[in-house]
Copies of this chain bind each other. A is one copy, B any other.
Amino acid sequence: MTFPVIGMVGGGQLARMTHEAGIPLGIGFKLLSGAPRDSAAQVVRDVVVGDHRDLDTLRDFARGCDVITFDHEHVPTEHLRALQAEGVVVRPGPDALVHAQDKGVMRARLTEIGVPCPRHRVVTDPADAARFAAEIGGRPIVLKTVRGGYDGKGVWVVRSEEEAADPFRAGVPVLAEEKVDFVRELAANVVRSPHGQAVAYPVVESVQVNGVCDTVIAPAPDLSPELSAHAQEMALTIAKELDVVGHLAVELFETGDGRVLVNELAMRPHNSGHWTQDGAVTSQFANHLRAVLDLPLGDPRPRAPWTVMVNVLGGDFPDMYQGYPHCMARDPRLKIHMYGKDVKPGRKVGHVTTYGDDLADVRERAAHAAAYLRGTITE
């Protein structure tokens, strides 16, 4: 048997759902998890508990794996380069992944290849941030640590000199960006193989609440075919130019004058692609696996006119299972995806998807279920 063994670094829900998608393929799946009760570690047979920041741990983990891939971007780039130099197959490779790890590197490279981004530059201190603000016509501006941020963490909207101090405290380089006056956020998700095949999912709308993804609508409503094709081509260009292998999420701002600007990149399955589990012919997780195994990619097309995903965040209601009977009885098409995580306020502990022909109805059903599970509504 030559069925390969995938090693996935990181025990979060993305690894959990990637394992789920890998079971039908008959492949081996090893997990490097930070703790034995992490989301993915609860459902995977072959779990190594260890620290992804330790090179020896990574080396040991990689033995017996045919390819290493990731649930997150937090493995130090230099460790990935070391593994690669030792012959470990790392997908996406460090030269690609660094663009999802370091926002400064990402902005420089995207600008170089002509991909539209918000105006930006790395700034050295609050005074330099003030100069950047003056250059682009004034505050507010956005300051971001170039590494370590996610879900709104590591990002500050700065409206005054005083507010500009916080981002510099971590000792990480800080990127200043214009605060784009967008009409909405989109995501263009693509998957690319080592042999160069790529597929593009429909462009989706991503609705953020307090900097965290709340709702994803596939496809993005009322998006012009031209802008949709443009966004897909941009994502395919980024995947090719950065030599991405696997799933690439390109988070975009849509502006009032009909442009799209790149906000963030992620080189792994991404929250904006969860709808594909129940809404596309091939899920982002299945296609990520196919890509890192250099197998032909699956059809990315939607299976329903509209699919909506709503994240389930932790609220004050610790026992989400109690909501299952109501939600399942109310919507027999609803799919609940829970991550096995303890409920903490604001924490992403699951998501729901549903689909149908009528967008308003689909949105209502998905939003209702997520709110009910969270405990925000009780009927």
How far is A262 from B303 in the complex, measured between Cα atoms in Å? 35
Give A263-306 as 1s and 0s: 1 = Cβ < 8 Å from B's Cβ atoms: 00000000000000100011000000010000111110001000
CB within 8 Å of B: which residues of A?
1-4, 16-17, 19-20, 23-26, 28-29, 41-45, 47, 277, 281-282, 290, 295-299, 303, 318-322, 324-325, 328-329, 332-333, 335-340, 342-343, 350
B298 and A338 within 8 A (CB): no
Offer 29 A-B interface pairs, CB within 8 angstroms, sorted by A: A1-B318, A2-B321, A2-B322, A3-B321, A3-B340, A19-B43, A23-B43, A24-B277, A24-B336, A25-B336, A25-B338, A26-B320, A26-B321, A26-B338, A26-B339, A26-B350, A42-B45, A43-B45, A44-B45, A282-B332, A295-B324, A296-B325, A296-B328, A296-B332, A298-B328, A298-B332, A298-B333, A299-B333, A303-B303
How far is A223 from B3 in the complex, measured between Cα atoms in Å? 40
Instruction: With both chains docked as a complex, state the minimum distance between the C-beta of A340 and any C-beta of chain B, in angstroms.
Output: 5
Q: A17-B24, A25-B338 are in contact. List 14 more A-B contacts (CB 8 A).
A: A1-B321, A2-B319, A3-B321, A23-B43, A25-B324, A26-B321, A26-B338, A26-B340, A29-B43, A41-B45, A43-B44, A45-B47, A296-B328, A298-B332
Residue in chain B with minimal CB distance to A293? B324
Instruction: With both chains docked as a complex, state the minimum distance between the C-beta of A210 and any C-beta of chain B, in angstroms.
Output: 24
Determine how many copies of this chain the complex contains.
Answer: 2
